[in-house]
Each structure stands twice: as C-alpha cells, then as structure tokens.
Amino acid sequence: MILSNRELFFYINNNLTNNDLKFTEKIGYGGDKTLNIDLIAEKIFIKYLEVFGNIYSEECGRLSSNKKFDVVIDPLDGSDNFSSNLAYYGTSIALVYKEEILAGFVCNLANGVLTYKAFDEKVKFEFFLESRNPLLVSNDKKFGIFERAYAYPKICTELRHQNIKFRSPGAVAISLCNARNYTFVLLAGNIREFDILASLYICNDLFLYKTDKFVLISKNKVLFNQIKEIIKE
C-alpha cells in the first residue's frame, strides 16, 4: 500500500502533464467521468495490489481472479478537486474478506500522508518524513464536514438553524477517514463502496449511522443523535 501510494504521489509531483488532466470518453464503473490521471492511478494500484486479491475499482469495476480477498479501490478520491488544483484529493483502499473489512488505507496525496488501520493498529505514515506516527487528534474541534452539501439545501438550513458549523471540501474518503478531527462527518447522496469502506474501518470505534442515502460519523454522541434526527426528517 505504501509503495503504490508513494509511486502515485511522486508521479503527480514530478511527471504530471496537461494531458493527464483531460477527460477521456470513458465513464467509470462508479458512474463518474474518467480523467486520464484516474486511469494512471488505477494501473499503479493494480500493478502493486492484484497479487493480494480480486481488484474492485471505481474505474474498471471488478477484475476477478478467484482469490480469497477483495481489494476495493478508489484510485483518485476528489478528482474534480485535483483537476481544479484544489489541494484536497487522495486515494482509498480496503482489504475485504467475505464482506468483512480487514484493513483500510486512505492517502491524502496533497500532503503525502497515508492513514491506515490494519490489525487494529491506526497509523499515520508521512512520505516526506519516512516515518510512522500514531494518529494525533485535536480536542478543540470547530466544525464538521458535510460532503455533497450543495445538493441538500434543507439539511444545510437546519444545521445552520441549530448553529452546527460545517465545510464541504469534496473528497469523501479523506473526510470520512479524518472524522476524529471534526465535530462530525456527514455524507449524503450516492453511497459507493469505493468511497467509504476504508474510512469506515479506520473509524469503526466512533458512532456510525449508515443508510443507502447517508453516512454519519461522530465521536460526540449528543451531536451524532442531533444530526441523525435532522437527516431522518
């Protein structure tokens, strides 16, 4: 996981071309338009990870090889951010066995930080420093994250009425993965395995509410229940 993310990180920072930012004629398996960089990222992950399991990727779909494990990949989380030069994008990879998530890896490619949980160990790996550090969390949380807030104005209005601050940065896996850093993280709309599996495993010790339309994660039980009631209405 480290090698594949590192190769993509260094490609983006050293070899990126204007052609990489162009859309192809392809619509990915996840339903989004595909950038050339999406395909480059996917090839890198397949090269490193197909030996470990059946690849299930947002771009190519399922590449079955009759292995025991599935490797669920979002090769570029936040593609629109990336193509617009907004520094909030990354990757998401989950290792799954018989529908049980065994490990989750989410990389913020903008700053070179890979956060992962495997064998019940949560670790932050920084490419720049070549170091592994335990996850540090600020106790002074100012706001939450509401991904795809633009499509849910009524929920936005109700959050504002209840004085619940939020941002909507546009990279689902990274936002969910870092739920400890915020008062909450809410995802609304089309819920896809590629976006959420790794992050849900990393944050599986927090309060979680998941339906086919919403994913809500928070460490604060009172706020969790407050937002849960809002989105249920």
* CATH code for position 61: 3.30.540.10
The model's pTM = 0.89
Which residues span the domain enclosing 169?
Answer: 144-232
Is residue 139, in this structure, part of any structural domain at all?
Answer: no
Same domain, yes or no: 42 and 153: no
Confidence (pLDDT) at 134: 63
Q: Using CB atoms within 10 Å of the CB of residue 131, give its burial: 0 to 12 exposed, 13 to 18 middle, 19+ buried.
A: exposed
Confidence (pLDDT) at 137: 63
pLDDT by 10s per residue, the chain, length 233 = 889 999 999 999 999 999 998 888 777 666 677 889 999 999 999 999 999 999 999 877 888 778 899 999 999 999 899 999 999 999 999 999 988 999 999 999 998 889 999 877 777 777 766 666 665 666 778 899 999 999 999 999 999 999 999 999 999 999 999 999 999 999 999 899 989 999 999 999 999 999 999 999 999 999 999 999 999 87
Same domain, yes or no: 58 and 31: yes
Number of structural domains (the chain) is 2
Same domain, yes or no: 149 and 128: no
Q: Using CB atoms within 10 Å of the CB of residue 212, give its burial: 0 to 12 exposed, 13 to 18 middle, 19+ buried.
A: exposed
Of 106, 133, 160, the position where a domain reaches its end is 133
At position 206, the amino acid (one-letter code) is L
Give the Cα separation of 80 and 198 in Å (integer). Answer: 21
Same domain, yes or no: 15 and 114: yes
Same domain, yes or no: 106 and 6: yes
Confidence (pLDDT) at 63: 80
Is residue 199, in this structure, part of any structural domain at all?
Answer: yes
Same domain, yes or no: 9 and 123: yes
Residues in CB range of 101: below 8 A, 6 or more apart: 94, 95, 197, 198, 200, 201
Same domain, yes or no: 99 and 151: no
Same domain, yes or no: 7 and 121: yes
Confidence (pLDDT) at 153: 97
Q: In the chain, count H helices and then E strands.
A: 7, 15
Same domain, yes or no: 115 and 217: no
Is residue 110, in this structure, part of any structural domain at all?
Answer: yes
Same domain, yes or no: 103 and 189: no
Give the Cα separation of 194 and 59 in Å (integer). Answer: 10
Same domain, yes or no: 24 and 65: yes
What's the pLDDT tens digit per position in 162-187?
999 999 999 999 999 999 999 999 99
